[in-house]
Amino acid sequence: MSKTRNKLIRYNNIEVQNAFDKEAELLIQVQNDELDQCLMLWQAKSPTLVLPAGNKWPESNILKQALNGNDWNLLSRKTGGAPVPQCPGVINLSHIYVWPEVQPYSITKAYQDLCEILNAFFADFGLKSEAHATEFSYCDGDYNLNINSKKIVGTAQRVILKKGGGKVVLSQAFILIDALLDELIKPVNLCYEICEKTEHVKAQVHTCLFEHITERPTLDEIYQKITQEFIKHQ
């Protein structure tokens, strides 16, 4: 992230909608060839359940009121996947970059690149993380990162066309740092119940970074470690 056409943005506390607005702005800048890449790191200021927009997950007043009664906001977003809880103690990253023209785009390779960076981040704490799905986790996927078979990172990916040709990749991850897991899953299960889904998530299949380390780095120190791993990966 050292070149002038690269950008690093960090927010210690930001409302989720504002973070998504900033991400969309940066995506357009990379798409329009104003930037080569951008890394945005952020943590939600207010607990918010992010709902994939669409018929599968309807944004109803009943759901909104139920979440508000449990001190959670509701926000719909045009994305795939399943509901994701955002709150203090969960760090998000968005890496937006131009896919190399000399290499055919591969969704698997893009996910593996992100996982490799985050594996190195955890290795710096003496921890080993592995990519695989995690049954009963929220927003489950094949490229979750797990420590001792418990989910610590969820990932997502989106690809858009670049102006003038080529592809722009948006790689995302949410990293569990010190969230209260029992509280974190409550809005997800509440959403499942109101949307009449049979599945549910379990707190015990998740884990947080601070459960595995004795010295607890500050948020700025964690951001710096993540940034350094992206620089090493260039």
Would you say residue 30 lies in a domain?
yes
| CA–CA distance, 227 with 175 (Å, rounded to integer) | 14
Tell me how many domains the chain contains: 1
Contact partners, residue 73, CB within 8 Å, separation at least 6:
16, 46, 47, 48, 49, 67
The range of the structural domain enclosing residue 82 comes to 6-233
Would you say residue 52 lies in a domain?
yes
What per-residue confidence (pLDDT) applies to 15?
A: 98
What per-residue confidence (pLDDT) applies to 2?
A: 43
Would you say residue 59 lies in a domain?
yes
CATH number at residue 224: 3.30.930.10
One-letter amino acid for residue 59 of the chain: E
Would you say residue 79 lies in a domain?
yes
What per-residue confidence (pLDDT) applies to 5?
A: 86
What per-residue confidence (pLDDT) applies to 164?
A: 83
**Phi and psi dihedrals of 119, rounded to 5?**
-60, -40
Would you say residue 93 lies in a domain?
yes
Q: The tokens of 122 are what?
A: 């955890």
Would you say residue 58 lies in a domain?
yes
The number of residues in the chain equals 234
Q: What is the pLDDT along the chain (234 residues), one digit of tens a residue?
A: 444 689 999 999 999 999 999 999 999 999 999 999 999 999 999 999 999 887 888 888 999 999 999 999 999 987 778 999 999 999 999 999 999 989 999 999 999 999 999 999 999 999 999 999 999 999 999 999 999 999 999 999 999 998 888 999 999 999 999 999 999 999 999 999 999 998 899 999 999 999 999 999 999 999 999 999 999 987
CA neighbor of 203 nearest in space, from 214, 187, 216, 191:
187
Alpha helices in 32-145 (DSSP H): 61-69, 107-123
| CA–CA distance, 12 with 46 (Å, rounded to integer) | 12
Would you say residue 148 lies in a domain?
yes
Would you say residue 1 lies in a domain?
no
Contact partners, residue 2, CB within 8 Å, separation at least 6:
231
